Amino acid sequence: MKKGLLFGLIVAVVVIGFVAFRGQEAPEAPAPEEQATEAEQPVAEGEVVKIGVFLPLTGQNAFGGQLELDGVKMAHQEIPEVLGRKVELVVVDNKSDKVESANAVKRLIERDNVVAVIGTYGSSLAMAGGEVAEKSGIPMVGTSCTNPLVTTGKKYIFRVCFIDPYQGAAAATYAFNDLGASKAALLIDVANDYAVGLAGFFERSFTGLGGEIVSNLKYNSGDQDFTAQLTEIISKEPDVLFIPAYFAEGAIIMKQAQELGADFQIMGGDAMDNPKIVEIGGDAVEGFVHTTFPYDPTMPDMSDMAVQFTENWKKLHPDQEPNVNAALGYDSYAMLIDAMTRAGTTDPEAVTQALAETDGFDGVTGITTINETHDAEKPVGVVQIKDGKKTYIATVEPAL
Amino acid sequence: MSFAMFVQHFFNALTLGSLYALIAIGYTMVYGILRLINFAHGEIFMLGAYFVFWGVTLLHLPWIVAVILSVIVTSFAGILVDRAAYRPLRDAPRISALISSIGVSFFLQNLAIVVFSAIPREVQRPDWLVTIIQFGKIRILPLTIVVPILSFILMLGLLYIVYRTKPGLGMRAISKDIETSRLMGVPVNRVIAITFGLGSALAAASGIMWALRYPQLQPIMGVIPGFKAFIAAVFGGIGSIQGAVVGGLILGFMEIMIVAFMPSLAGYRDAFAFVLLIIILLIRPTGLFGEKLEDKV
């Protein structure tokens, strides 16, 4: 009996190992097999400029992917031609899956012979797809993939969004200069690259500006109890707590912080940029501040581009608010067309060269310059939850 | 560390520990009777929490009614799981039922993703359970007091059922020898169904309490608490109801105190729990209260 029990328990522990990791994986929603291809244009091959779009239209990231696709389509509607030739979009769903993502780009390049690729939401998806584009020598413009590795060492990969170091620095700048914080605490998911990266860059900039990190605590993905860490942080009396978490986790951290009587300002990154945060966080997220891309329908002092985008979006989608993903989708297409126009050709090499030289491109999400690592440099937006509503409160440039 | 801070940590730990204890009781009861580690326990726990949510939002029931209804519906779900996934394997090797329970666990998780969607939901909490009580710097929720008491009452209730009632007698008989019990006229399948019903009701109760403390519903919310409670049950001596309570409390206190006294190790909190499990299996596989295996239910 004892032996059987021991054996059973050991088996159970091994099984736990597998299941524990499975538990954190993304659920995959049933996905329709067919790719949505834009209606064939009755124009001869060669006259059409084919641009491939790969985005997560099903699965875990479908929400963001769909908005970005709507943004790309809207830009395509407004700028349907380049160099006097019609542009055709070929859209493939990458199903929020790395393997599908690589396959999608392969298909776009080999079967559809696209001259450039747009995509995608999700850094890991962009990395998988980018690998294929890089090997084939086809330029790719990323939408909202913020991990530095997406473009590192790549010749043909670009993006319209800023990267995590830039955002972390901007958040620190805002905390130190605008909020007047001198003591900051960090609460980081150690199992999440995004969180670890963003927190690291926040810390570097914050201490560089003269601030002090009074507490730097960790937790693990899937944790739901943060009371021990928060009690410890509260005892250190920071001015600001930076939590680079996803919105669901962030909401639950803030709820527990509220219950424990935390009175410091809580800040987060763009992963908190989700309208649902108010719904699940309730009054605990009131006053919460996070950095994001500099576009929001509530922002004051909108650029002409942003005003025009918002108006046109509302005409096309009267029942849905535009958001930053849609704006980034729009910008990725517009920036690509801008590069093709400057190159005077759709030849991939020339377009790549032109993309790299992008300087002061006027996008919905701000004046964009592509730097030597192929990442966008543009202002960072700051949003605060006020009266249960996301309110755009400031635009900051990181003081690095 | 200031005294106030220590007391705050103490109450945080007490809540977490008794929640683990509450989940662990359900694990240990099913194990004690069937020698089956029911990995779907965490998913039943999740269902319990979701049913309250639907009761309140869809059927507009008062919270307390929704809770009672959820416990009843969840226990029937548990019986259904037994009927569909475990009963056909009653005479198969024990490992088959274990694997079947893992299958049920995945099935329920994915079913929840399809039916409830993966978007996290808010939790409705009655004010009297979550209005903060403040003593100087110490802040506790009434829930912090309710959960340990509830765990204790449920433990006593369960011990009563197992040792003082007829189905309990059947459970103890089955835990010794299922074949002989059958020959002696014990309605084996019915007693086991009752066991699963009770176990699932306990899971629902703990799921509801958990959701009050950590107010967010997700299809995978039962996974980590389920594992932690499993560790607690093994630590206390799986099969022993008192052991599950003690194990849960110790695990909760360990997790919180690791962060309290060694904040820099906070990220390894979960690792400590699993290391504890391995050590127990190596040194004392029967756990704290698990010596006399045959007597435990």
Contacts of B292 in chain A (CB under 8 A): none
For chain A, percent of residues with pLDDT exceeding 70: 88
The pLDDT confidence band at residue B66, using thresholds 50, 70 and 90, is very high
Using CA atoms, how far apart are residues A217 and A76, in angstroms rounded to an integer?
A: 46
Q: Per DSSP, what are the bridge partners of residue A27?
A: none
CA atoms within 13 A of residue A138's CA, in its CB half-sphere: 25
| Total structural domains within chain A | 2
What's the pLDDT score for residue B116?
Answer: 85
Q: What is the rounded distance in angstroms from the CA atom of residue A203 to the CA atom of residue B259? A: 21
**Cut 0.90: pTM above it:** no
State how far the alpha carbon of A75 is from the alpha carbons of A46, A89, A141, A192, A293, in Å. Answer: 22, 11, 14, 33, 18
Interval A159-203: pLDDT, tens: 999 888 889 999 999 999 999 999 999 999 888 778 888 999 999
Considering the four listed CATH numbers 1.10.10, 1.10.3470, 3.10.110, 2.60.40, the one that applies to the domain covering B3-295 is 1.10.3470
Alpha-carbon Rg for chain A, nearest whole angstrom, is 22
Does residue A193 form part of some domain?
Answer: yes
Domain of A210 in residue numbering reads as: 165-292
In a domain, residue A10? The reply is: no
Quick check: A19 and B223 CB within 8 A? Answer: yes
Distance in Å, alpha carbon of A219 to nearest chain B alpha carbon: 4
Tens digits of residue pLDDT in A199-235? 999 999 999 999 999 999 999 877 889 999 999 999 9
Report the range out of A104-113, A270-279, B270-279 with the highest average pLDDT: A104-113
Question: For residue A186, which of A138, A243, A106, A136 has the smallest C-alpha distance?
Answer: A243
ipTM: 0.85
Decide: residue A17, CB within 10 A, 0-12 exposed, 13-18 middle, 19+ buried. Answer: exposed
Q: Is the C-alpha dihedral spanning A243, A245, A250, A252 positive or negative?
A: negative
Flag whether pLDDT at B289 surpasses 70.
Answer: yes
Last residue of one domain, picked from the residues A271, A292, A313: A292
A220 CB within 8 Å of a chain B CB: yes
Chain B contact present for A279, CB below 8 A: yes
Average pLDDT over chain A reads 86
Terminal-to-terminal C-alpha distance of chain A: 65
Residue A40's CB is within 10 A of a number of other CB atoms, namely 8
Tokens for A7, please give them: 């054996």
A362 belongs to a structural domain? yes
Residues of B in contact with A276 (CB under 8 A): 119-120
Q: What's the whole-number mean pLDDT along residues B248-263?
A: 90
At A39 the pLDDT is 44
Tens digit of pLDDT for each residue in A14-32?
Answer: 555 554 544 444 444 444 4
The DSSP output letter for A157 is E
Can you give the pLDDT at residue B41? Answer: 94
Give the burial class of A98: count Cβ atoms within 10 A of its Cβ; 0-12 exposed, 13-18 middle, 19 or more buried.
middle
For chain B, the first-to-last Cα distance in angstroms comes to: 42
Contact A278, A285 (CB under 8 A): yes
Which residue ranges make up each domain of chain B?
Answer: 3-295
* β A240-242/A265-268 pair status: parallel
Phi, psi at residue A121, to the nearest 5°?
A: -70, 140
User: Least CB-CB distance to B95: which of A5, A11, A13?
Assistant: A11
Residue A370 domain flag:
yes
Average pLDDT rounded to a whole number, residues A249-276: 88
Partner B, chain A 285-344, Cβ-Cβ below 8 Å: none
pLDDT at residue B78 in the model: 94
> Is A274 contained in some domain?
yes
A29-70 confidence digits (pLDDT tens):
444 444 444 444 444 455 799 999 999 988 778 888 999 999
Could you report the per-residue pLDDT of A354-370, keeping only the tens digit for each?
999 999 999 999 899 99
DSSP state of A37: B
Give the list of residues 6+ apart from residue A8 with CB closer than 8 angstroms, or none: B35, B37, B94, B95, B98
* Look-up of token digits 């580690």: B37
Q: What 3-state class would DSSP assign to A158?
A: strand
pLDDT number for residue A37? 46
Q: What number is the average pLDDT over the span A267-276?
A: 84
Strands A366-370 and B133-135: unpaired
Q: How many Å apart are CA A115 and CA B280, to the nearest integer? A: 61
CATH number for the domain harbouring residue A261: 3.40.50.2300
Compute the count of residue pairs across chains A and B with CB atoms less than 8 Å apart: 157
**For residue A68, is it within any domain?**
yes
Q: Are residues A77 and A63 in the same domain?
A: yes
When pLDDT is averaged across residues A308-316 and rounded to a whole number, the result is: 92
For residue A30, the model assigns a pLDDT of 42
Q: Evaluate whether residue A29 is within a structural domain.
A: no
Question: Facing residues of B270 across strands?
Answer: none
HSE-up of residue B129 (Cα within 13 Å, Cβ side) = 18
d(CA A31, CA A15): 28
Please calculate the CA angle A38-A117-A121 and round it to the nearest 5 degrees: 90
* Mutation target vs A (from B269, B275, B291; most A CBs, 10 A cutoff): B269
